[in-house]
């Protein structure tokens, strides 16, 4: 693919499109990438990042992370900070799966202990954690009680016995975005979500048993601080979000914003998918409150999955989760909008940060992360494909330039349709098992969509975040077993 001729290199891993690139741009657009990653990006990434730069109230730059690829409205990997007084909020800058995120859980087990029981573990995980489109969970709450979940997030899980107190401390924002208002949510969204707590869903969502081998540790001191303390230690990582509930919230407000964006507020943008409303408007505040409900549902969903995982490991190894050391490293979201304080042109101020397929990466000493991570920086979890591995990283001070944001995953290199044309799910399953990766899925097509070749090289993506000063690599985590929808 030929790169836009106006694109210029402004730092070793920073590429910029000037405001002259497209009519309506208010700030430059910046792509964080190495030359190799940049060359593999779709033309749509540059167009969408430039479109984001047209949003009213945007500050400094529109960003795209090294894993960036074409998305709805924003590119996946897109980041934009808005002035909350005169800027907008856009569902396309957050995504349909609101609070899709990552959670990493330790064990005190080694690969040598887990390998003989791997099939038993994965089979039981697959039986206990519902996967696939439309799946429902074991938590049976009424629609009225579901509204409490939307307000309380992980705190509801603690009240019901699904969480340890320390789980909330190790979750972004304590597992709850304050200000969620269930009255801002449609009945249809409630109907789609009230029975989906504790479910993995489909697509690129997964729950994976992984191993931290000594040869894959980049920063031994930080790895110890994060709980990686024994050779070949086994951990569990999972990736999911707010399921059909979040999708409906996004759908409802996209339609609402399309009705008022131009007719009421006179906002004209180059892409309808960036439909937005002024953040301080009634419509903008209603969406913000509804989005927080979906964020809290996502936190509760992952918390209940962790509860199930602890049950599974306890049953297989005949020890309590406490004895198995099944404590959290961290839970971090990558599809949200948040009010945060950042330094902008020498002044500390409140800004509204949209992160769409991008991860918060607070650096050492920053408020808002657990005290035990103040010296290391926030744990950052970047998921790779089910064939290649994932990374645990730490936030860096250099991420201030991107409003303390880094990549969220590998990033796709081809569509799901293309991937399914290139490999059969059954064949892929057999090849992975020959390499020591045992997978259970309820969809052969869904498995083929997630083949490793459909994604960028996770090693290159995480190396780029480190070179850019956004997050530094701590340890690569290699897959052993995986369940998928």
User: What domains sit in the chain, N to C, each tagged with a CATH number?
Assistant: 101-413+455-484 (3.90.1860.10)
The pLDDT score that the predictor gives to residue 1 is 60
pLDDT at 113 over 90: yes
Catalytic residues: 408
Scan for tokens 């459909």, then name that residue.
Answer: 454
pLDDT at 311 over 70: yes
Angle between helices 143-152 and 282-317 (to 10 degrees): 100
Lowest mean pLDDT among 124-138, 152-166, 240-254, 464-478: 124-138
pTM confidence score: 0.97
Phi, psi for residue 134 in degrees, rounded to 5: 75, 10
Is 208 annotated to bind ligand? yes
Is 307 annotated to bind ligand? no
Q: What is the pLDDT of residues 358-381, one digit of tens each?
A: 999 999 999 999 999 999 999 999
Is 385 annotated to bind ligand? yes
In angstroms, rounded to a whole number, what is the distance separating the alpha carbons of residues 393 and 478? 14
Buried b (16+ CB within 10 A) or exposed e, 66-103: bbbbbbbbbbbbbbbbbbbeebbbbbbbbbbbbbbbbb
Scan for tokens 């990374």, then name that residue.
Answer: 391
Is 204 annotated to bind ligand? yes
- What mean pLDDT do residues 189-218 have? 96
Is 320 annotated to bind ligand? no
Q: What is the pLDDT of residues 201-214, one digit of tens each?
A: 988 899 999 999 99
* For the chain, percent of residues with pLDDT exceeding 70: 100
pLDDT at 457 over 80: yes
DSSP string, 78-92: EEEEE-TTT-EE-GG
In angstroms, rounded to a whole number, what is the distance separating the alpha carbons of residues 274 and 271? 6
Is 334 annotated to bind ligand? yes
The pLDDT score that the predictor gives to residue 369 is 97
Q: What is the pLDDT of residues 415-435, one digit of tens each?
A: 888 888 888 888 888 988 999
User: What rounded mean pLDDT belongs to the chain?
Assistant: 96
Is 20 annotated to bind ligand? no
Is 90 annotated to bind ligand? no
């Amino acid at each position: 693919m030929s790169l836009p001729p106006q694109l210029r290199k402004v730092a070793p891993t920073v590429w910029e499109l000037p405001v002259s690139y497209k009519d309506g741009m208010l700030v430059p657009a910046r792509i964080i990438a190495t030359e190799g990653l940049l060359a593999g990006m779709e033309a749509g990434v540059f167009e969408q990042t430039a479109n984001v730069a047209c949003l009213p109230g945007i500050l400094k730059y529109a960003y795209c992370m090294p894993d960036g690829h074409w998305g709805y409205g924003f590119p996946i990997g897109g980041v934009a900070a808005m002035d909350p007084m005169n800027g907008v909020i856009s569902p396309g800058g957050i995504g349909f799966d609101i609070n899709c995120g990552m959670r990493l859980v330790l064990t005190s087990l080694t690969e040598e202990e887990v390998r003989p029981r791997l099939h038993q573990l994965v089979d039981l995980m697959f039986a206990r954690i519902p996967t696939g489109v439309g799946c429902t969970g074991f938590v049976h709450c009424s629609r009225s009680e579901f509204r409490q979940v939307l307000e309380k997030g992980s705190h509801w899980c603690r009240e019901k016995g699904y969480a340890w107190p320390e789980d909330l401390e190790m979750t972004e924002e304590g597992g709850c975005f304050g200000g969620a208002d269930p009255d801002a949510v449609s009945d249809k969204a409630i109907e789609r979500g009230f029975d989906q707590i504790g479910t993995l869903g489909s697509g690129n969502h997964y729950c994976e048993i992984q191993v931290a081998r000594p040869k894959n540790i980049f920063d031994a001191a930080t790895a110890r601080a994060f709980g990686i303390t024994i050779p070949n230690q086994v951990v569990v990582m999972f990736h999911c979000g707010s399921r059909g509930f979040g999708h409906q919230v996004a759908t409802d407000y996209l339609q609402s914003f399309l009705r008022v964006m131009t007719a009421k507020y006179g906002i004209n943008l180059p892409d309808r998918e960036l439909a937005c409303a002024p953040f301080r408007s009634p419509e903008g505040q209603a969406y913000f409150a509804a989005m927080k409900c979906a964020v809290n549902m996502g936190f509760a969903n992952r918390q209940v999955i962790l509860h199930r995982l602890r049950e599974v490991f306890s049953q297989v190894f005949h020890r309590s989760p406490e004895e198995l050391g099944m404590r959290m490293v961290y839970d971090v979201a990558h599809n949200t909008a948040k009010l945060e304080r950042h330094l902008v042109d020498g002044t500390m101020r409140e800004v509204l940060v949209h992160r769409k397929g991008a991860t918060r990466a607070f650096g050492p000493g920053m408020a808002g992360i657990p005290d035990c991570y103040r010296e290391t920086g926030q744990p950052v979890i970047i998921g790779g494909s089910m064939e290649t591995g994932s990374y645990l990283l730490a936030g860096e001070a250099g991420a201030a330039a991107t409003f303390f944001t880094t990549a969220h995953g590998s990033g796709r290199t081809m569509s799901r349709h293309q991937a399914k044309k290139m490999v059969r799910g059954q064949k892929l399953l057999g090849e992975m098992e020959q390499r020591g990766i045992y997978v259970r899925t309820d969809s052969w097509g869904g498995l083929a969509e997630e083949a490793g070749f459909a994604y960028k090289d996770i090693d290159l993506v995480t190396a780029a975040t480190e070179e850019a000063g956004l997050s530094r690599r701590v340890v690569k985590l290699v897959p052993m077993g995986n369940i998928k929808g």
